[in-house]
Amino acid sequence: MSDDAFPRDPEAPEPTWPPAPPEPPRPPAYTPGSAQPRLNRPVHERYPQIRPTSGYGDPRITRTGPGPGAGTEQEPERSSKLSARLALALTVVIGQLWGLTIVVDEWMAGDTGTAWWGAGFLVLSFLVVLGLWAIDPKDR
């Protein structure tokens, strides 16, 4: 009978003492960022047409940025109308939230008569928003 309670696997490699230090991690073959190594090349290799002077010394560039008048409002009347409508709708929504809070408080307190009047207010304010929406269908 063998002295060892757990016999060694005959195909296992011979143990070494002290254990060998772990291998240092190898750097990747390409710069991380894309699964395709061809996309990870330096910019001047990917785009040879871009020279260091591109942007200020390139004769192909004649204008920088958008044209005159860019960023200004083209229809100020429409913008002001939409802003006013948005402000009115937000006011109604805030009023609905406030009314819903009051209705729930009254309902939980047992005052169902006041709660029903509050529910009517909420329905009326919803109809006001619906009316605002129907006023100018060409703006949608």
Q: How far apart are CA 100 and CA 119, in angstroms?
A: 8
* 130 pLDDT above the threshold of 80: yes
Q: How far apart are CA 33 and CA 40, in angstroms?
A: 7
- pLDDT band for position 12 (50/70/90)? confident
Look at residue 85 in the predicted model and tell me its pLDDT.
Answer: 81
Look at residue 109 in the predicted model and tell me its pLDDT.
Answer: 92
Per cent of the chain over pLDDT 90 is: 5
Query: Whole-prediction pTM value?
Result: 0.43
Look at residue 92 in the predicted model and tell me its pLDDT.
Answer: 84
Following CA atoms 94, 95, 100, 103 in sequence, which dihedral angle do they give, to the nearest 10 degrees?
160
Q: 23-80, pLDDT tens digit by residue?
A: 887 755 545 567 777 777 777 777 777 766 656 666 666 666 676 666 666 777 778 8
Look at residue 108 in the predicted model and tell me its pLDDT.
Answer: 92
Average pLDDT, the chain: 76
The tokens describing 30, both together, are 């390409």
User: For residue 106, which of 127, 122, 94 has the smallest C-alpha distance?
Assistant: 122
- pLDDT band for position 112 (50/70/90)? confident
Residue-by-residue DSSP string for 52-92: TTTTTT-TT----SS-TTTTS-S-HHHHHHHHHHHHHHHHH
Residue 9 φ then ψ, to 5°: -75, 125
Q: How far apart are CA 54 and CA 61, in angstroms?
A: 8
* 99 pLDDT above the threshold of 80: yes
Q: What are the residues whose beta carbons fall under 8 Å from the beta carbon of 103, sequence distance 6 or more?
A: 115, 118, 119, 121, 122
